[in-house]
Amino acid sequence: MALDQGITKVTDGLEGLSWNVVGHTYTPKLNSENVFIWHAVIPDGTFVPPHVHPTQDEWITMLEGTLEVEFGGDVYQAGPGDTVRMPMGVAHGIFNRSGAEATCVFGVAPSRKLFDLFGALDGVTDPEELVRLSALHEVDFLPPPSE
């Protein structure tokens, strides 16, 4: 799919889309073979468990609020204006433990199957189904830590 010229308005998603993925609101802004970009509203107390994109680099540009990003045992805080870099093949988890909503812009390159994954995950609440669908779309969740 080639990139179409034009403007995606601040309140709009591509094709009028917006998805609820793990309690976050994801609104697609740009999608082509080379890149997929979406706006995210991440409520306090929500997270994306540690996972790997084996075929994509990912990044987050923070707009408002604070997120914690975990790479293995290392935890980093990102706030407004910061850009988080998550290289392909590197496990990462994203957590909002700040006490307030966070907003940011995510991107992946190349886009691969992530746009389709978010459509498949819209409203899914069962963790096993989330993991199964993600694996079919080239996102691999790590097993939960042993207690």
pLDDT tens per residue, range 46-66:
999 999 999 999 999 999 999
pLDDT (mean) for 17-32: 97
Let me know: does 53 contact 88? Beta carbons within 8 Å.
Answer: yes
For domain 26-112, the question of CATH label 1.10.10.10 is answered with: no
What average pLDDT is seen over the chain?
96
pLDDT (mean) for 75-81: 98
Q: Cis bond leading into 110, ω under 30°? A: yes
63-83 core/surface letters (b: 16 or more CB in 10 A; e: else): eebbbebbeeeeeeebeeeee
Domain boundaries, the chain: 26-112
Secondary structure of the chain in the HEC alphabet?
CCCCCCCCCCCCCHHHCCEEECCEEEEEEEECCCCEEEEEEECCCCEEEEEECCCCEEEEEEEECCEEEEECCEEEEECCCCEEEECCCCCEEEECCCCCCEEEEEEEECCCCHHHHHHHHCCCCCHHHHHHHHHHCCCEECCCCCC
The predicted structure's pLDDT at residue 147? 63
- Residue with the bigger pLDDT between 54 and 143: it is 54
pLDDT (mean) for 96-116: 98
pTM of this structure: 0.94
Compute the distance between CA of residue 90 and CA of residue 78 in angstroms, rounded to an integer. 18
Residue 109 has pLDDT above 90, yes or no: yes
pLDDT (mean) for 125-141: 96
Give the percent of the chain with pLDDT over 90: 93
